[in-house]
Amino acid sequence: MSMNQCADLLLLQLVPKDRIASITYNAHGGAEALFPGADAGIAINHGAAEEIAAEKPDLILAGSFSTPTTRAVARKAAAPLIELQDPSSFDDIRRVVRQAGAAVGETGRAEALIARMDAQLSALAAAKPARPYTIAAWTGDSVPGKRTLANAVIEAAGAVNIAARNDTVTYGSFGVEELVTAQPDVLMVGAHSGAQPTLQELKSRHPMVRTLFAGRTVTYQETALDCGLPQTADAAVRLHADLSAIGRRGAP
């Protein structure tokens, strides 16, 4: 049983469906973005203690912020609770995938996922550009610092994270004016997937931003960066390809 979206997406890659009691109601969006259909037919839960008692799982995968109630019910249900930390680097991803693989008895599958990721990263390392682009991975009001997956992806793609120039560790405030003043080579924004854009997404569509970064804006799959999955390397591969395309167009 999984009680965290990121744990959901990892569990779906490690074990067959018939071994999964349930995944969270948040799993579908991420699964559709990364591996469509992987969650089809699997029961969902809402993270409630009552669901643990009813489903009687033999193992619970949760996030790093499991509630005391969840822990208490897991103990009563005699189900081991494995708390997966939120990765902020590719080394963290390797550690978490191995932790989950060992917990569900699928160490071979875990190593296969890691091997695929590492092969992608090695290929990227061999193809780094002579002149790396400077990127602002902008949410509309902040940029990711040094200890974030976004920074790891940017570096793996052979680029430079604009926020890595300062002391920003996680996410730091960064408005439209700061973006224009910083003048990064490329703007990186999350792909919009909802029916209505968020306020932050509307900021990224500011006329001045669109004009300034015309032909120099790339998108990324938010789930791959938010969760720290082996597919995070896919985001780095795509970013590298997008930057290469920008270079072929002669921009910036």
Q: Which two tokens stand for residue 18?
A: 């018939």
Q: For residue range 151-210, what is the model confidence (pLDDT) as tens digits?
A: 999 999 999 999 887 666 778 888 888 888 889 999 998 875 444 455 555 555 667 788
pLDDT at 167: 64
Tell me if the pTM is above 0.85: yes
pLDDT at 252: 63
Least confident of 36-40, 214-218, 220-224: 220-224
Residues 120 and 113: beta-carbon distance below 8 Å: no
Q: Mean pLDDT, the chain, as a whole number?
A: 88
Q: Which two tokens stand for residue 156?
A: 């793996």
Q: Name beta bridge partners: 186.
A: 135
Distance CA 232, CA 214 (A): 26
State the number of CA atoms in the 13 A half-sphere of 62 facing the CB: 24
Q: Domains of the chain by range and CATH?
A: 5-120 (3.40.50.1980), 134-248 (3.40.50.1980)
Q: Which residues have a Cβ under 8 Å from the Cβ of 247 and sit 6 or more positions away?
A: 129
Residue 222 has pLDDT above 90, yes or no: no
Residues 129 and 247: beta-carbon distance below 8 Å: yes
pLDDT at 166: 65
Per the model's pLDDT, the better-predicted residue between 133 and 247 turns out to be 133
